[in-house]
Chain A
Amino acid sequence: MSDPNLMAYYDGELGSEQRLQTEQHLQVCQPCREQLAEWKALDALVRGEGPGELRPRLRLQDRQSGWKPTLRAAVCLLVLGAIWYLRPAQRPEAVPLGVQSFEVRHGACRYRVETSGARLLMVDLEDENGRAQAQIGGES
């Protein structure tokens, strides 16, 4: 078969009798089938449809209906709940007390500072006579 006939078939330009003949020919002619596939790919390219991966992805499974998805979700929740309930108990780590007390002098004033780790417990301000002037935190 000559190419113009094959292309006329591809473009839907053949009459019914010729179309039938071409279809019969195509059943036994691999090169003609490949030619048709190539024109199809070319036309898709011209239309801007791109290669096959641009086609919408097919859903592999139909969306399930009925009670099965609900049951599956319930089982998942139960399993997750059991994992959470049986998790190893977390004990609070023992925090060393680490209370430090030190003095800071600035001019005539003296500051007594107590800290625990990064926490400020008390600042005690005394004047030069040892009288308490102010206190932040702690007990006097």
Chain B
Amino acid sequence: MDREEFERLCLPCYAKVLHLCERWLGCPSRAEEVAQETFLRAYRARSSYRGQASVSTWLYRIAQRLCWEVARKRAPTALELPQFEVVDEAAQQAQQARLTSLALLSRLSQRSRSLLILRAALELSYAEIAEVLEIPINQVGVYLQRARAEATSLARQEGIL
């Protein structure tokens, strides 16, 4: 994969990779750093891409690993919530929903968080989720069910579901 091909195939995925990082990390600035690092690593490793997985799945896998690395290196801290300028009531509600979502995700186990983001936010299929998380495809449903049970229980405790 030369530079031109890399740009043509990979750059259209940037928004979704950033979305994954932002959902996972909860902090827009750090998410942007991780998303950029994802593309840097992908570019360096472009010769190893054999086309077994789709380009987007390959990028998600790199991004997901980087998110795990960030979580491993950093001691758990309070969620760094993004700051928004509140324009009107609708924007305020949207902000509240967004913050609620990030707060909920931040309290889930790492695997559950990944599964729910990949499925609900990025709408990946079980096969794609299996590739990103490097787990057997027949386990995706089982893990996803656990993740949903964990999130439902937490959301109920917090009175947001």
Contacts and interface: CB of A to CB of B under 8 A. Distances in A.
Interface of A: 3-4, 7-8, 11-13, 38-39, 41-43, 45-51, 53-54
Contacts of A51: 97, 160
22 contacts: A4-B142, A7-B141, A8-B126, A13-B125, A13-B126, A38-B152, A42-B161, A45-B100, A45-B104, A45-B155, A46-B101, A46-B116, A46-B117, A46-B120, A46-B151, A48-B98, A48-B100, A49-B101, A50-B93, A50-B98, A51-B160, A54-B97
Contacts, number: 75
Contacts of B119: 11, 43
Q: Is the interface of A mostly helix, strand, loop or mixed?
A: helix
Contacts of B90: 54
A46 B121 contact: yes
Interface string B29-62: 0000000000000000000000000000000000
A54 B120 CA distance: 18
B94 interface: yes
Interface residues of B, number: 29
Contacts of B102: 48
Contacts of B117: 46
Contacts of A38: 152, 161
B65 interface: no
A103 B90 CA distance: 68
Contacts of A54: 90, 93-94, 97
Contacts of B17: none
Contacts of B152: 38, 42
B133 interface: no
Given A46-B101, A46-B104, A50-B97, A11 B145 contact: no
A48 B125 contact: no
Contact of A7 (B125, B144, B155): B144
